[in-house]
Amino acid sequence: MKYFRIKNILFISLLLIIVVLVIIFSLGRAEKEPIIEENTEVETLILKYGIPADSFLLKEGVVANNQYLSHILNQHGVGLGTIDTIAKNSLPVFDVRKIRPGRKYTVFQTPDSLQKARYFVYENSPVEFFVFELFDSLRVYRGEKEVKAVSRTAQGIIKSSLWNAMKDSDLDPMLAIALSDIYAWTIDFFSIQKDDRFRVVFDEIYVDSVRIGIGEVHAAEFEHRNQPLYAFRFLQNDSIGYFDDKGENLQKQFLKAPLKFSRISSGFSGGRMHPVLRIVRPHYGVDYAAPRGTPVVSIGEGTVIAKAYEAGGAGNYLKIKHNSVYTTTYMHLSGYAGGIVVGARVRQGQEIGYVGSTGLSTGPHLDFRVTRNGSYIDPLRMESPPAEPVKNEYIPLFYSYRDSMMNKLEKVRWAEEKLPVEDTVD
């Protein structure tokens, strides 16, 4: 009995020794190994233009009038020799003579008492920038900021013009340009009426959380003269175009008008009072009143067959032959676009000249004329065949895309009632 009692005491003593040793060992490891908490914050690197901004002092500015790279860098302690070298090194990438007033720049300086300039960054546009390394090899390279496309839907009603409708709906007026380009073959924007209306699915472009413009228009409905006209952006055969709800191409052989955002001051007529000669005679064209210098474009692809000056009538004018049937004439121009000579081939929508008041004219306007098989026709009544529609093999895909976009358009309520917009970032 005494033997078993001694044995139990020894066993308990041994057990206590083991427990003490385990505790001592654990405490030793605890001193050597730091305790890592799950919520420990990790220091993040702050980058600006791809440069660790938190390692420098940043001096931001805007290029002033008559200010050059040498002025800016010299003000920040960069020597003229270094400036001359980096200007030469930059030529294959960026010509420093093209630095423009109003553009932003940033100088990265060392955070010590010397505050030496190490980088100079010039923003050539809201997206594009150029980095000048002011040390070692004085390297210059190009960069781009991250661009985000935010999908939006919107609507508007015409009260005076498409441009004003955009402003009334607090939309970027450049959306008016985009819609006029999309519907250029379908709608004559000089004849849009009050209470015509539109709704649209499009992208807004953001850089540094700042809206810088609009991106692609994915779908639109323009109700003109109570007739809905649809446009859906669709890719086929590596070519992007706009098609109506039946898959017909919105692009036609001819544009509806040779210039944008003007007004018709005189229409096609077999007899009208000439504003200068004060006699009644035919006017076989359409007069578009517009400020002097307004760009004029060719309504279709063709070849320049005449470029001349006629003192007693047309002033500076151009004639473009589009095919064996149609020829267009552009009169009273103040001048011609570069490369426009007799025999030159022009594209549809290509700038060919500028509104003026040369020849017999009471003010700046474009006299635009069209002949079909040698006879004058009213440009406003001219029908134009469409380009290639959606191909048969793409029809199922197009219909699926059309239906999804149509669903988005129909969720945009007309008039002034606005639904919450669900923005998505691509």
DSSP string for residues in 30-81: HHHSPPPPTTPPPPPPPEETTEEGGGSEEEEEEPPTT--HHHHHHHTT--HH
| C-alpha triplet 287, 288, 294: angle, nearest 5° | 135
Tens-place pLDDT, residues 312-333:
788 999 999 988 778 999 999 9
CA distance 364 to 361: 7
Q: How far apart are CA 119 and CA 337, in angstroms?
A: 41
Asked if 334 contacts 355 with a C-beta cutoff of 8 angstroms, the reply is yes
Output the pTM of the full model: 0.62
Show the beta-strand stretches assigned E in 184-312. Answer: 197-207, 210-224, 227-236, 239-243, 263-266, 269-273, 280-283, 286-289, 295-297, 302-310
Which pLDDT value is given to residue 168? Answer: 84
Nearest of 154, 94, 153 to residue 125 by alpha carbon: 94
Region 260-285 average pLDDT? 61
The single residue listed with the structure tokens 């839907």 is 153
Q: Round the average pLDDT of the chain to a whole number and report it.
A: 84
Name which of 348, 111, 356 is nearest 251 in CA terms.
348
CATH 2.70.70.10 residue ranges for the chain: 263-381
What does each C-alpha distance from 130 to 53, 88, 89, 340 come to in angstroms?
A: 16, 14, 13, 35
Q: Are strands 351-355 and 295-297 parallel, antiparallel or unpaired?
A: antiparallel
Residue 358 has pLDDT above 80, yes or no: yes
Sign of CA dihedral 378, 389, 149, 349: negative
Q: Looking at this protein, which amino acid is placed at residue 285?
A: G
The single-letter DSSP state of residue 25 is: H
Please tell me the predicted confidence (pLDDT) of residue 281: 52
CA 83 to chain centre: 34
| Averaged pLDDT for residues 69-74 | 93
In 47-176, DSSP assigns E strands to: 47-48, 51-52, 57-62, 104-109, 117-123, 128-133, 140-144, 148-157
Spell out the alpha helix ranges (H) of 122-217. Answer: 162-168, 174-182
Look at residue 237 in the predicted model and tell me its pLDDT.
83
CATH topology for 148-252+390-410 is Nuclear Transport Factor 2; Chain: A, (3.10.450)
Q: What is the pLDDT of residues 180-192, one digit of tens each?
A: 889 887 887 777 8
Cα–Cα separations (whole angstroms), residue 165 to 199, 291, 300: 12, 21, 28
CATH (residue range 49-144): 3.10.450.350
Q: 4: exposed, middle or buried (C-beta count within 10 Å: 0-12, 13-18, 19+)?
A: exposed
- Please identify which residue in the block is written with the tokens 């009273």: 332
Which of the pair, 45 or 42, is modelled with greater confidence?
45
Question: Which of the residue ranges 21-30, 204-213, 412-421 has the most confident prediction, judged by mean pLDDT?
Answer: 204-213
Structure tokens at 219: 């779908």
Q: Spell out the residues 6+ positions from residue 370 whose beta carbon is closer than 8 angstroms to its own.
A: 285, 326, 327, 328, 329, 376, 377, 378, 379, 382
- Give the tens place of pLDDT for each residue, 88-132: 989 999 999 999 999 999 999 999 999 999 999 999 999 999 999
- Of residues 251 and 384, more confidence is placed in 251
Strands across the sheet containing 210-224: 148-157, 197-207, 210-224, 227-236, 239-243
CATH superfamily entry for domain 263-381: Glucose Permease (Domain IIA) (2.70.70.10)
Give CA–CA dist 285/363, Å, rounded: 16
Residue 73: pLDDT over 50: yes
Which whole number is the average pLDDT over 189-214? 89
CATH 3.10.450.350 segments of the chain: 49-144, 148-252+390-410
CA 212/CA 159 separation, integer angstroms: 27
Beta carbons within 8 Å of 51's beta carbon, 6+ residues apart: 108, 119, 121, 131
Does the pLDDT value for residue 15 go beyond 80?
Answer: no
* Predicted local distance difference test score (pLDDT) of residue 16: 63
Predicted pLDDT at 424: 47
Higher pLDDT, 276 or 136: 136
For a pLDDT cut of 90, what percent of the chain falls above it? 53
Rounded Cα distance between 199 and 410, Å, is 9
| SS3 assignment, position 239 | strand
Which pLDDT belongs to residue 193? 82
Residue 417 has pLDDT above 70, yes or no: no
Neighbours of 369 (CB within 10 A): 21
pLDDT recorded at residue 420: 47
Residue 305 structure tokens: 């067959």
- Token pair, residue 79, equals 């020597």
Residue 277 vs residues 76, 133, 280: alpha-carbon distances, Å: 67, 68, 9
CA–CA separation, 10 and 128 (whole Å)? 82
Specify whether the CB–CB gap between 292 and 316 falls below 8 A.
Answer: no
Q: How far apart are CA 303 and CA 341, in angstroms?
A: 9
